[in-house]
Structure 1
Amino acid sequence: MNIKPLIANLDVFTNNPFLNTETHTYSYADLKKEVLRQLNYLKENEVAQHSTVFIQGDFSLSSIALFLALYQNDNVIALNTAANEQEMANKIAVAQAQYLIDTETAQIIRYPMSTQENPLMESLKACGHAGLILFSSGTTSEPKAMLHDLSRLVESYQHKRPRRLSIFLFLLFDHIGGINTLLNILSIGGTATIARIKSPDVVASLIEKYRITVLPTSPTFLNLMLISNVFIHYDLGALRMITYGTEPMPESLLVTLRAYLPHVKFLQTFGTSETGIMNTDSLSSDSLFMRFQEGDTEYRIVDGELWLRSGTQIMGYLNYSMDNFTKDGWFKTGDLVEINADGYLKILGRSKEIINVGGEKVYPAEVESVLMQHPQVKDCKAYGEQNGLTGQFVAAEVVLDADYGETSNDVLRAIRQFCREHMDNYKVPIRLKIVEAIRYSSRYKKLLIAS
């Protein structure tokens, strides 16, 4: 058997710790043993090379080993962490999966082979490469299925110098950010840490216990950590870098985080399921401006929208048109950006989330940044509501400090007045709603609120 470089790396790092859980630490030797066991499992169950295998479950030693075994076997791997049965059924159908393996139970289910294979799959198999299918949300409708050339994606992580970094594997297994973190760890011989429950207290306790140095996460989760006071209750002194992405960071939140963690470097990251994760540099830990490092990534800004073209972008959608791609390969991200004189970019927000007040654009993140400066606001979500005169007006949900000690109407009036003093009138929320908590997805990203 011709062992692929990523698998061969496991012998290079054999004595390094690979994975910390809440109760165990596993070495790279343990991972290699589990990969060989999974390869034998695939052989015993006659899982054919190049067939499509649907993995159900989040990160664990066995799921990571299965992923590597399928990669070694040149399979197409479809990933899913959601437990919703209808969503699973939708994704299995779109992927034309021939096998489902539940990593919790090790159960394998076979499906009949499709009579007509997708041309993209045929093209991938003709190259003899492994594949990766990532999905958009598909709870009630057919999800977008994005096909990556996994062999090419893995190759982009090779030739990195070994580094004994301890990195929290926070983002989900079926998220491009989670795959990016995993491949980075494997390529440098680093140590991953996972948690079954990603509450602020559990995450902070594991950072303290295992002296974790890098935390990739989202602004929403960082704010939940603030609300839970974990920066006070736990020793997070080992942290050296926090990378954040998936949604815009409110500027005032970054300022507060920096006050609690002055020794930590904050790095804005950017990527999409379609293009992969880009290598970025932040202007500084205090700044929301970033730039893309030289390499396989090109970018351009068209009418304020960021377009990307990369060497790790998808082969295509299995079930959708390529309308978001130009004929010459540029992906229209839907993210609106600002660029400064030195070429650094600032992500302002998604074009579909922009609030249009009488022709004036309002970005939810800038409203949230002001709201979160108010001493009685712990969390918030700004969004647009329909209005017959102006098209839309700004509304917001707010989570208040439990000890605000005034009637809710008095507090809301004070918050509105605070907003008027800190931003233009058309950006001030007309409607404020007090809620117990802001709704967010399993990826710790604020959920859209329907207008």
Structure 2
Amino acid sequence: MERTNTLAALLARGRTEDVALSAPGRSGLTYGALRELITQVRASLREWGLGPEDRIALVLPNGPEMAAAFLAVASAATTAPLNPAYRADEFTFYLDDLQARAIVLLEGMDGPARMVARERNLPIIELSPTSNGSAGHFTLKCEQPPPPIAPHSDEAREGGVALVLHTSGTTARPKLVPLTHANLTASARHIGALLGLGPEDTCLNIMPLFHIHGLVAAVLSSLGAGGRVVCTPGFNALRFFSWFEEARPTWYTAVPTMHQALLERARRNVESLKSNRLRFIRSSSASLPPQVMEELERVFGVPVIESYGMTEAAHQMASNPLPPHPRHAGSVGLAAGPEVAIMDDAGAMLTPGGLGEVVIRGPNVMTGYVNNPEANARAFTHGWFRTGDQGTLDAEGYLRLTGRLKELINRGGEKVSPLEVDTVLLDHPAVQQAVTFALPHPKLGEDVAAAVVLREGLQATERELRDFVSARVADFKVPRRIVVLTELPKGPTGKVQRIGLAERLGLTS
């Protein structure tokens, strides 16, 4: 029986008495207690006729119970975490597309997820956090289990699907990504090895746990190394430094917009930073502007490790290494798990320096989207998965991304990388955040536009910013419009979404 590369095997490294999960202001759940909880959940799910092939949706608030429920359900069935903030029509789509056989909800929590589940007669499993218990401990109850379909095996296998997630679906119908136990454990071990994680490490998790970044980079990589995860209720820049002081983490991982928000608060929390025990800060899920990396390192006093990940690869694909190895601002580093190469449109591999599509293959990469042969035919070429990102590899193997292929701006045949313009705008002393995007144009097809957030107490006009950019890039790359905002529009995981931004900002009329 295949057990080596399962979640259960991954969690076996932690010492029984060590804390695995905790939360601000709460006592921790030990590895021994976590493993007992997983065994109890597996027994309950089997009693209710649910096994490895069954998809169970998780709709829970961020925190240690969500982390523990993911680990427990994924060890016994196929888990499908969903964003609790979805509207009723979104839950209807995702639950139907998943063909979920049950849904896990917080006991007593009303909302659209419960309403949609009732409308569909979907069995509801109530999760109740243990009163006065350790963070992450809970009990489950299910009054109306689903009717049995077929007998289940007792143990999850490494080739079995542990987690299914939808792609973001910014331009088309979301695709369903199946990640096996082997995919997840490979990615977790790659991250743990690259970052040198061990039992003495504590990760402060501020990422949402319905997203691959939080689930794998924060939770699975830490627990696979025998470390500890402090699970917050979610990202909150105002509360981060109080959590930081209490948890005393050795690292945290986040998306660039979160790092930028924390930098704004850092000057008010100098004392918190003086006594920290951080080893490094990790950034992933979107390109980290070099200026932000440099400021983070200066303010926090530790190396910032930028990594490159996506759902289809169970998160990590490439990463900058820890010192003393070189890390480069503007690069997402070296291959860190799967093989990474650059391919042209015809499917030929490019030599170092060639600009093309980033492709990957390896043990943490999915084998194909669920029930989507057309998408799979487009996504795989000669066994390589096409990421949809454009970039180059240098002679040392460091990968530099120039942007998502679908986000590149085609201005009358001239291609503009939004990331390049972002970087130039961020060099302006008054600009704190910037995002460049396509603006529809009647003759050119697309033109360049940008939105910026200015630093507190500083000013800059649209004309000043356009002049600043025009002195540094070719004329066709200069944004025709630059709007100043108090906050950049972000998706549910904290990433800025370029596609459709012109419409959302009312610039298309």
State the TM bucket, normalised to the shorter chain: 0.7 to 0.9
Q: Once the two structures are superposed, what CA deviation does each residue of 1:209-259 show, in whole Å capped at 9, x if it has no partner?
A: 211111111111111112334574452332221221211222222233233
CA spacing shift, 1:296–1:402, aligned 2, 3 Å: closer
- Residue 163 of structure 1 and its aligned partner are, at CA, apart by 3.5
Quote the residue 2:278 is aligned against.
239
Q: How does 1:4-403 map to 2 (within 5 A)?
A: 6-7=7-8, 9-10=11-12, 12-26=14-28, 27-73=30-76, 75-84=77-86, 85-103=88-106, 107=126, 108=142, 129-137=160-168, 142-154=173-185, 157=188, 162-181=198-217, 182-229=219-266, 232-233=269-270, 235-236=272-273, 237-261=276-300, 263-276=301-314, 277-282=316-321, 284-293=326-335, 296-302=338-344, 304-320=356-372, 321=374, 322-326=376-380, 328-403=382-457
Q: Once the two structures are superposed, what CA deviation does each residue of 1:96-128 show, in whole Å capped at 9, x if it has no partner?
A: 111111146552586867999xxxx9xx99987
Q: Which stretch of the first structure deviates more once superposed, 418-427 or 125-134?
A: 125-134
Q: Secondary structure at the match of 1:247?
A: coil
1:21 corresponds to which letter in structure 2? A
- Residue 150 of structure 1 and its aligned partner are, at CA, apart by 2.3
Q: Which stretch of the first structure deviates more once superposed, 184-193 or 266-275?
A: 266-275
Q: Which stretch of the first structure deviates more once superposed, 194-203 or 328-337?
A: 194-203
- Residue 34 of structure 1 and its aligned partner are, at CA, apart by 2.9
Q: Once the two structures are superposed, what CA deviation does each residue of 1:50-80 show, in whole Å capped at 9, x if it has no partner?
A: 322112225433333333333443x222221
CA spacing shift, 1:204–1:299, aligned 2, 3 Å: farther
Q: Which stretch of the first structure deviates more once superposed, 29-38 or 5-14?
A: 5-14
In the alignment, the residues of structure 1 paired with residue 255 and residue 421 of structure 2 have an alpha-carbon distance, to the nearest angstrom, of: 18
Cα pair 1:205 1:234 within 8 Å, conserved: no
Please give the TM-score of this superposition, normalised by the length of structure 2.
0.76
- Residue 137 of structure 1 and its aligned partner are, at CA, apart by 3.5
Cα pair 1:94 1:142 within 8 Å, conserved: no
CA spacing shift, 1:48–1:379, aligned 2, 3 Å: closer
2:357 corresponds to which letter in structure 1? E
In the alignment, the residues of structure 2 paired with residue 86 and residue 28 of structure 1 have an alpha-carbon distance, to the nearest angstrom, of: 38
Please give the TM-score of this superposition, normalised by the length of structure 1.
0.85
2:384 corresponds to which letter in structure 1? W
In the alignment, the residues of structure 2 paired with residue 254 and residue 11 of structure 1 have an alpha-carbon distance, to the nearest angstrom, of: 33
- Residue 270 of structure 1 and its aligned partner are, at CA, apart by 1.3
Cα pair 1:10 1:31 within 8 Å, conserved: no
Q: Once the two structures are superposed, what CA deviation does each residue of 1:2-21 show, in whole Å capped at 9, x if it has no partner?
A: 99875464585122122231
1:213 corresponds to which letter in structure 2? T
CA spacing shift, 1:399–1:155, aligned 2, 3 Å: closer
CA spacing shift, 1:264–1:102, aligned 2, 3 Å: same
Instruction: Count the aligned residue pairs.
Output: 440
Cα-Cα RMSD: 3.5
Q: Once the two structures are superposed, what CA deviation does each residue of 1:135-168 show, in whole Å capped at 9, x if it has no partner?
A: 1246998531111222453366569684321112
- Residue 133 of structure 1 and its aligned partner are, at CA, apart by 0.7
Q: Secondary structure at the match of 1:78?
A: strand
Cα pair 2:341 2:393 within 8 Å, conserved: no
CA spacing shift, 1:324–1:217, aligned 2, 3 Å: farther
Cα pair 1:96 1:114 within 8 Å, conserved: no
- Residue 187 of structure 1 and its aligned partner are, at CA, apart by 1.1
In the alignment, the residues of structure 2 paired with residue 97 and residue 137 of structure 1 have an alpha-carbon distance, to the nearest angstrom, of: 19
In the alignment, the residues of structure 2 paired with residue 87 and residue 140 of structure 1 have an alpha-carbon distance, to the nearest angstrom, of: 16
In the alignment, the residues of structure 2 paired with residue 290 and residue 248 of structure 1 have an alpha-carbon distance, to the nearest angstrom, of: 8
Question: Where do 5+ consecutive residues of structure 2 fail to align?
Answer: 109-124, 127-141, 346-355, 504-509
Question: Where do 5+ consecutive residues of structure 1 fail to align?
Answer: none
In the alignment, the residues of structure 1 paired with residue 225 and residue 483 of structure 2 have an alpha-carbon distance, to the nearest angstrom, of: 47
In the alignment, the residues of structure 2 paired with residue 309 and residue 109 of structure 1 have an alpha-carbon distance, to the nearest angstrom, of: 44
Instruction: Give the percent of matched residue pairs that are identical in Structure 1 and Structure 2.
Output: 25
Q: 1:426 aligns with which of 476, 499, 504?
A: 476
- Residue 296 of structure 1 and its aligned partner are, at CA, apart by 4.3
Q: Which stretch of the first structure deviates more once superposed, 135-144 or 241-250?
A: 135-144
Q: Which stretch of the first structure deviates more once superposed, 135-144 or 202-211?
A: 135-144
Q: Secondary structure at the match of 1:192?
A: strand
